[in-house]
Every structure is written in C-alpha cells, then in structure tokens.
Structure 1
C-alpha cells in the first residue's frame, strides 16, 4: 500500500524502515514476503520514468539480479532501463588487458546495468501488492524513542516497531539517533558521469582502463547508449573533456545527461544498536570502481533474512565481509592510480595473472556474486 498523507494514527509494525530507495525498498519487500509487517518512510515519491536514462545507474551482479527477479522485480521493471552485460574488461594504460566473460563459467551474463529510478519504481510496485507492507511517501521520521521502540512521523502518525532499519544513505538519520559513529576518509577524487548517444553500436560489455590519477570506464545502457565514467583529482575543478578519452574506443557521441560526485570511504563502527540495524550506504560507502556499492547492500539484506533477525550474527558477518571488500577496493585504487613505474609493472603483472584459468574463474564468480 502506498500512502502520501497521514492522519494522527498509531501504526504497529515488525520493521520500520527509514529510506525506500533501492536497498530500503528491497529490504521491505523481502521482509514483507516473509510475512513481516513493514512500514517504509521516505521523504519523496519514486521518480517517474523519463524519456532517457537517468545518470544514476547501478551494476547489479547476476546473483543479486536473480534474487530480485525472484522477489518479482523482473515483472514490474521497465525493460528498456535494464541492460545485461556479458563481458568485463580491465586494462592498464600501457595496454595490458584482462577479459572476463560469462561464458567462461557457463553463464549467460555477469549482471545487468539498471537505472536506479527504474529499479526503485519496480520495487515500489511490488511493495504495493504486499498486504503486510506500507510505503509512507513524502514523509519523514520526526522523533525516535529507541528505549520504547516508538517513532513519530512528521505527518503525525505514531509508529510502534520491533526493529528499526536504517537504509537512509551515507548521512543516516537512524545512525545518528543510535549514536553510531563512522571511520573513513576522502579519496581526493571526483567521479564524472556522462550519458551519451553513440553513432556506433555499444556491445554488451563493460570496461575500465586505469591511468595515473584515476581510471575511466564505460557502462553499456542500450544499443547506442552508454554511461561514460571518469575519475579525476578533486583539486582539478574543470570538468574533463571526455571526447579525447573515449572516442578512440567508441567513436563519435553526443551527451544528454551528466553529473559528478566526490569519492569518500565511510564504514560504520557498528551496524546494530538495540533495535537499530544499518544496511547499504548507511553502513558502508565504498569506492565505486568495481561497481560493488548496491550489491553490498543487497548482500546485507539477504544475510539479515538468513539470520532471521539475529542482529549480532548479521553484524559480525556483514561488517567483516564489507571491510574485506573495502580494503580490496582501496588496494586497487592506490596501486592503479600511481604513476610509479614499479607499481605500474605490478599492475601489468597482476592483470596477466588474472587471465590464468583458475584465478580467472574465481574473479568472474566474485564479479557475479557467486562467492
């Protein structure tokens, strides 16, 4: 059920979820399908479909895409906002390259590129079909009483909850209310994104080329559409001219949407305090170079459900797994962006090693979320 106006009523639920974006909505849907009563609160309504792809795009690995499809998302999503990809290529600036293909592990795809808004719309559509789920759009939590497990919404409703899930992003209101701190830093990089229309067809492959200062990458969106990504030092304030970078690889293109954001690393010191559980970006913000962000959030949800609400086991398992992934991204970031010839030689050697049979299959399975 979707509600946009609230009267002064009292609602009793198993889980109150703050934030109904991709992770919050997926958590609500998965819990509702388990029979739990859930209320999702979000300060906005889901964006309507635009004429072309929005700049906010996620790479969802095949393991989690199959799970989302089981939840019913595949039946609700706009198919022209989903692009499967079969190949992942990683190259160093000197031309050393490693290719990873779904065929190498007898699968049809490594994952999909999906518009964030489209995935959120599909999840909300599925939630409206669940008798035990309610979305309170255009509303927010005004007060939280953790001791008595009560919250008051801006619209006037009072909510009695058993669990309070913080799926409200990197500046989590729920984390602040629970007194949960973070450890992290600024990478000193800015991620530039540009959606383009190309003259030449775009194959179902995503690729990334590492250069000193930061990599540049392509996400396939449609037959003649792609999202171009470039990482540049934050102290370089002028946007990068992407044509010299990308035209040698994809030919001529015209941009229709663009954006940028600074890169930061944040990790919550705790995921759980009393009835509070953090998931997704509220618990961890990771370098996006491997497209793991939302996949870690979906893994949080699945672990929480598998542990049947055992918050301490959830915290142990997910905080350890997320910390390992964050360290791996840090290592790749610091080594690949360095212009030092010794480090660049190590990068080239690593890419060659990654093409070896057993290692290659392990990397592909990791990229697909199978390990």
Structure 2
C-alpha cells in the first residue's frame, strides 16, 4: 500500500483520491476550501462529462450524493460558418446518452462526501501547503503539520503549486479571447441538446441545464467581451442578437467571463514520486468541453499504467497534445471564410453523415 498526497480537491483531484482508495491505496487529500459550495441556482461553472467518464464516476459510488443539478443529453451538433452542420445522437453511439451536463460544485460536493466517508482517505480542508521538501518526499501544511508520502499528485489547477515546486515548465499561449458564460431562464421549454455555431469572431454555444434553463456561451476577443458585458442591459441585447432566433425570450440570471489560454506541461512527472493531473498538466480551448474529461482520463490512465510514471507521461502527454491540436484545428477551420476549406468541410461532413464513420468518430470521442 502506497501513501498518496493529493494537492487539490477539485473534480479531478477528488476523483483521483476516491479511485486510488478504491484500489487499496492510502490517500491524504488537501484543499484550500473548507467545503464544496452548493446553492439552489445553477452555478456558472458547468462541465459536459462524456458518458464513459460519467459511468466511471458512478462506479465510484457518487450517485446518491449528487443533487438535481445534472442533465443527461442525447444530441449535439456543430455548425460551420458556411452553415454546414454535423449532428451526433446517443443512438449513433449505441448509448442511452452522450453525456451529462453537471454543475461543478454538485459533482465536487458528491466526490467530497464519498471521500470523507472512505476509511482510507484523510481529508484536510481548509489547508494549504507552505513548503515542499521534494527530495525527502515531505510537505508542510499551514498549521505546521508535516506529511510524508510515496507519491505526490498535483491536481491543483493551471497555477499549480506542485508544478512550481518541481520546476516543471509549460508550453502554451493566450488565445486573445475570452469565454462569456450566461445562465438564462427560457420562456419556452426545449430539448436536452447541446449545440455550437462557428463564426469569424468566435463560436457561440448552448448547454442545456433543465427543460427551461440553459448556459449560453459566447467566444469573442477580450476587448469585445469586456465591452458587451459591461452592464446587464448591454449583455442581454447582445445575447438576444446572437441566440434570440433560436431560443426566444429569456431572463438573465448570472454571467461571467474568463480568458482562453492553452498550457501544456513539458513533464508530467518528476522522478517516481511526483505527477501532475488535470489542469495542472494541461489547459485546453474549451470549445468542445474536453477539459475535465481529459483530467478524468489522466486519473484512469494512472491506474491503467500500473502507476508507472514513464508510461503515464508517454500515454497522457501524447493523447492530450493530439486533443489540443485537434481543438485548435477545429477552431480555425470551422471559423474560416476560405472557400476551399468550406468545400472540404462540406464534403467531409457529407461522408461522415452517410457512412459508419460517424459512429466511429463518436465512439472515439466518448472513450478515454
């Protein structure tokens, strides 16, 4: 039995703790927050968890601790700037659902409850690491307690303290865009379908939350997002221009925006006693909602690789890099006004729709 210390109790860190404990390891989970916060209204931080990972999460025993802020969806579609559309349904994948829209706080709270009940997990929250003694595999918490470990996992986000302590560098850039999130209540109910439309300035999308609640997503330049979100009235007017023809009248609940960046760790491990997972290892353009799915894949890969650091790095670094390149290609080509590119996309979409390639693509996307 190894002793794991996980810095970061978000969705990836908490799922790693629960999965490792389920596999017979001893785990100490550290997080700076006292508890996962939940409220009656949907928070803006929402994840689209594909069905493969959702079933894995349920297998960890979180089902009874989830609240109502989750919605399975059966269909998704993407539309290029030229109007070419490609749709995927659960039936195409031979599944009951493509995935689940879930509030991050809801999922994190359920994971925390399971971790707190597990005899092999020691939960330290709120707590922060004040010193990393990596050569001696020891760290110090803000209350002075020292913890020894066999393996330290950095699941502490894009500004990872574990990565800094290990002097792990990153390759990446700022996209010069911001992503606006707006939760709205709709006057007319709609189906549980997620969709995304591309345009030159950036895509816009809808994530269903309930039969009459949705999260509207708008990607634009940082300057434009800051301008249209300067006050609620201006934002409502802009969202109506973008989404009104599709969703009808709506009421704005809450909104916020964040910058779009790409970062990829040059190393996923230091020696045999430190590894990175989730956003600590990679941040990706969110247009396909792959961020947290890649983090869950990190956790599962670590277990599948027999906790071998070199195999883990080789597998996950390559797969995550491929996904990053794919998302950048989609973002550029689907927004392009180039006639040759649009012709190629139309032809490619037509072939996908008429052949078994659609099922193969969807099956691949829903795998780890």
**Shorter-chain TM band:** over 0.9
> Following superposition, which runs of at least 4 residues in structure 1 exceed 4 angstroms of deviation?
none
In structure 2, the CA distance between the partners of 1:350 and 1:261, relative to structure 1 (3 Å rule), is: farther
1:316 aligns with 2:314: yes
2:16 corresponds, among 27, 30, 51, to 27
1:145 aligns with 2:133: yes
The root-mean-square deviation of aligned C-alpha atoms, in Å, is: 1.5
Cα distance between partner residues in 2 of 1:352 and 1:235: 37
1:203 aligns with 2:191: yes
Secondary structure of the 2:167 match is coil
Shift of 1:329: 0.5
Cα distance between partner residues in 1 of 2:156 and 2:317: 18
Counterpart for residue 366 of structure 2: 368
Cα distance between partner residues in 1 of 2:357 and 2:140: 52
Counterpart for residue 124 of structure 1: 112
Secondary structure of the 1:300 match is helix
- Preserved CA contact (<8 Å) 1:61 1:110: yes
- Preserved CA contact (<8 Å) 1:13 1:160: no
- Preserved CA contact (<8 Å) 2:81 2:336: no
1:114 aligns with 2:102: yes
- Preserved CA contact (<8 Å) 1:20 1:167: yes
Shift of 1:255: 1.1
Secondary structure of the 1:194 match is strand
Which runs of 5 or more residues in structure 1 are unaligned? 1-11
- Preserved CA contact (<8 Å) 1:46 1:117: no
Secondary structure of the 1:222 match is coil
Counterpart for residue 240 of structure 2: 243
- Preserved CA contact (<8 Å) 1:18 1:168: yes
The count of corresponding residues between Structure 1 and Structure 2 is: 358
- Preserved CA contact (<8 Å) 1:92 1:348: no
Shift of 1:47: 3.2
Superposition TM-score, scaled by structure 1 size:
0.93
Counterpart for residue 272 of structure 1: 269
Secondary structure of the 1:54 match is coil
Cα distance between partner residues in 2 of 1:130 and 1:121: 14
1:97 aligns with 2:85: yes
Cα distance between partner residues in 2 of 1:213 and 1:356: 31
In structure 2, the CA distance between the partners of 1:278 and 1:54, relative to structure 1 (3 Å rule), is: same
Secondary structure of the 2:36 match is coil
Superposition TM-score, scaled by structure 2 size:
0.94
